[in-house]
Chain A
Amino acid sequence: MDFGRYGRELLLELKRSNAAYNDTLVSSCLQDLNLHVCALGDQVAAASRDQHASTDGKPKLSMSVRPSILLQEAAIHRNKRCLLTYHWVRLQRIQKQYWSPRQEENEEPQQLGPAEEDFLQAYQQLHQRYAQNTLPFVDDLRAHAGLPPLNTERVLLRVVTAPTEGPVVLASGVSVEFRVGATHFLPWNDVEEWVRKGHLRVLTGEEHNE
């Protein structure tokens, strides 16, 4: 029993690299977890045989075994938390790989294990089925990821780099002058191209928090 050491190593591996799913380490962590569960069960059973009645009549474990029991419980919870975190972060990375297939510069590609590859395929198929059933005019949901589906909607934007100099009149008739750092609420149709090129960034407003 290692009291959560394998769990810690799982998290350190997450932080260090984009390596493939470490089946060996996960198995070791699960084995450690099971050992702690068995040890806890044995301790509780042994302590129950020696328990005495308390002042209120309910049976109580003796004080000498309680620290050990608490330690076993803490190790069990720690292993569980580490395992859940490891799988959750890897899941996020898989989903990100689907939604943003283009890698940023100097970013290591995420390596996937066989089960993760299967999950990614199933995830893609799920989205394709959804798109076919509900949005027939949409070929690929990823083209509209993070962007409003209706082209008449207005979006909240921040200027990253000014796409034009001086005042311009947009196709919808709205006049605007882009200054770096300014925030605008403009028709999506007019600004879609600049958003895709990275000149403007779409923001979320308070209505998304309600």
Chain B
Amino acid sequence: MKIYSITVFSTENEEAVNLTGEYELSGFGFFQRGSVQEFMKFFSKTVAERTRPGQRLSVEENNYIFYSYARTEGIAGVIICDNEYPQRVALSLLSKILDEFLGKFARNTWKPQTISYPELKNYLIKYQDPKEADQIIKVQEQLDETKQVMNKTIESLLQRGEKLDDLIDRSQEISFQSKAFYKQARKTNSCCTIS
């Protein structure tokens, strides 16, 4: 599962303005990359224009899914990924990126050329793996691991129980035998003398 691009648009006017964007084009042939990037920009722009403020949208096209989230402050984010990438992770990723964007750049700096958002590239690379992006998935995985460890512990505990049972039997037997031994010894030491 891959993310192909993350783009941020400003939707104040009728036409969305591309503020910043990062593209992952390594899956395409060298000569197609330019046109693929143009296509991505165009599609993202269209989807961003169609998204109403405060609304999350997902559009599916062939094998690619566009997730977009428009904020009421006038910006919208679009993520293009393949159809395996989980929806929830993509949408929460959008929320996170837009929050950070809003925090970093004031409203009057929203012009396409003046914004440099290098973290976006890091995000794009880092979040190719959805497990990194979503806390929920991470916590769930850790919990599953812990559960497996616990299961193993319980199994070994059961084995320990078996061994302890074995020990009990053996110790009981020794106890009986030593008792017999003691009685025997006492008997030979009794009143009758050896003639």
Binding partners A and B: no
- Chain B interface residues (CB < 8 Å from chain A): none
